[in-house]
């Protein structure tokens, strides 16, 4: 049976790696270091998936632009101190190589920085599985379609043959803006009830559901 999708584009944090708690804590600690209002867990989870500049603008709209670098530096200090301890979600270490072996072309579109993603690809051991990647500091942030459009152009794959897999409304909105279908995971940063209105083909509770669906329907 011919494949329905050729290109699978994965978000990273909250989709493949269980990093939401570390992102939230690092942002809260960074704000505390600088004497800024500390965002709640719900506020911090909402901006996961955005680039750091866009995340700060949304969560701290009154912060002067000149103070962004200090907050970003403190966030990265806390996050990079523990990022090597963050685990992949159950089933990802086996599932991603299996999807690559099945003939899918795999890529990553993430709100992480290039430095952060490169570290994660090495620490996770999944780097060789992905043929292309895009990060927020190389493009417009989600939900702008630029990252998906760049990946499809680089790999020569049409929107109709591309599927975006992510855990946030930012991922699903990016897919919609790029004319790409999506698949949601409800175990990451955003709750299922806010993902379903974007009409993903599946809203998975665990990563093995993603791989099973793709092998059967992808």
Catalogue the active-site residues.
11, 13
Q: What does the alpha-carbon distance between residue 176 and residue 83 come to, in Å, rounded to a whole number?
A: 31
Q: What share of the chain is helix, strand, coil (3-state, %, to 5)?
A: 50, 15, 35
SS3 call for 52: helix
SS3 annotation, 127-157? HHHCCEEEEHHHCCCCCCCHHHHHHHHHHCC
Burial class (CB in 10 A: 0-12, 13-18, 19+), 42: exposed
């Amino acid at each position: 049976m011919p494949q329905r999708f050729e290109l699978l584009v994965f978000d990273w944090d909250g989709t493949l790696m269980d990093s939401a708690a570390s992102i939230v804590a690092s942002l809260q600690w960074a704000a505390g270091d600088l004497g800024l209002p500390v965002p709640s867990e719900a506020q911090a989870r909402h901006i996961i998936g955005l680039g750091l500049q866009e995340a700060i603008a949304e969560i701290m709209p009154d912060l002067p632009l000149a103070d962004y670098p200090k907050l970003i530096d403190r966030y990265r200090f806390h996050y990079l101190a523990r990022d090597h301890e963050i685990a992949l979600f159950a089933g990802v270490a086996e599932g991603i190589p299996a999807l690559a072996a099945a003939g899918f072309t795999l890529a990553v579109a993430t709100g992480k920085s290039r430095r952060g993603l490169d570290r994660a690809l090495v620490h996770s051991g999944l780097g060789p599985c992905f043929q292309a990647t895009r990060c927020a500091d190389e493009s417009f942030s989600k939900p702008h379609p630029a990252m998906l459009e760049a990946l499809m152009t680089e790999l020569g794959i049409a929107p109709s043959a591309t599927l975006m897999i992510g855990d946030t409304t930012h991922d699903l909105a990016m897919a919609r803006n790029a004319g790409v279908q999506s698949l949601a995971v409800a175990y990451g940063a955003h709750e299922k009830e806010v993902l379903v209105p974007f009409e993903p083909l599946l809203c998975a509770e665990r990563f093995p559901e993603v791989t099973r669906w793709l092998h059967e329907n992808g």
